[in-house]
Structure 1
Amino acid sequence: MPPGTVTDWAAATRRLISGAVAYGIVAVVGAVVSTALLAIPDGEPAKSFWAVLGGLLGWVALGTLAVVVLLSIAWLRATGRMSRAYGAPANGHLGIWAVVTFLVLLVVSFVLGIMVIVSAELAVWAQAVVRVVAVVLLVAGLRHTRAWFRGRVNPGGAVGADLVSGGDPFAPKGPTPTSDDWDASSWDPDIQRDIDRRRGKLHD
């Protein structure tokens, strides 16, 4: 297995989850702003403000979605490397199915915006709900695949330490101090001499 495969895959998973959650938040905020815009009568000064805000959020949503798609491609490639090293369930990783479902639901949400003609507000919230559901399913699938790989990387024990963080690459934390960190004999000699010099001054 190439060095860094586990760490790279775990990082790709975290980035994709973060991007998906961000997209879900933008989708809900966009729906709120669109609803407020639709409720303001034409000609009202406030309508221009909400229209500009809605336009900005639309661009943010498109940008966030583009990032999520790119992160999904990177995650799928990393998952392929992990699968070659650790295998895969008989029916494939749930995370991969979640990515496919996410993309399909996104298409459905855009179609709903066109087909729902009963009410503009209904169309806006139908889109938002479908997108949030897509995000929830994607995150759930990614977490399931992360748990599956976690059990294969080191079955029956804790996952090996990440060379960068010193902890679990699937849930990195700052390095935890150990008794060796307080062993003065392993410190830099210059630091040790400085400590001895300071101790000598204290004793004087």
Structure 2
Amino acid sequence: MPLLSYTATLTETRSPTPTPSWTPSLSATHYSPTQYGPTETLQVMGTVALSPTRTPTASVSSTLWWSDVACPTLAVTTTAAGGSLTQSDIRGGGSAVPTLLMVALPPPFRWARDPQLGTYLTFVPVSTAQPRGFGGSWGAMLRNATWVRNATNPSTVLELAVPVHRGYFIAADETIVIRCDAVAVFGGCKGVLLGSFTIASDTLP
């Protein structure tokens, strides 16, 4: 699939009298889905008379594939009280409702139609991995958790249930980056998608 397509057409009509005119028009930039994914199209059309008997009309169109567009930043949120995860949330916190971790794409991006979509997302600690935190059993549970599409916004939001582990303990806050390959985005994008979240060390439940 080419990253950039370019087409040009030229038609000519003959006229018995001079028609010295130049009428350019510029169409609006817009997104339109194709079999390869969304594209951004810019089209310029014009008419010009070169001689008393010749009136050529030219049309030029170029297409920029989304694979040339930089990948967006992932918006990471949780359903934890206050919006941020704490050590108590990981340890259970007394709640019977699972805490969800969600990643969202900004418009007009959307997730690809791929049943293995979750395999393109990985977790990378940016703070020191603590033995009883992300560096331990809970980290393995998180990496093996399953991403699913959000019921309300399935095309832009993925979510997973944060694993509960009573043995989770951190002496300092843990920050974890979510890294996602560009192939997970419908139409593709240039680079990788990144987002992050922090688990706060707090009083044990």
TM-score when scaled to structure 1?
Answer: 0.22
Query: Normalising by the residue count of structure 2, what TM-score does the alignment of the two structures yield?
Result: 0.22
Give 1 or 2: higher helix fraction.
Answer: 1
Q: Which has the higher strand share?
A: 2
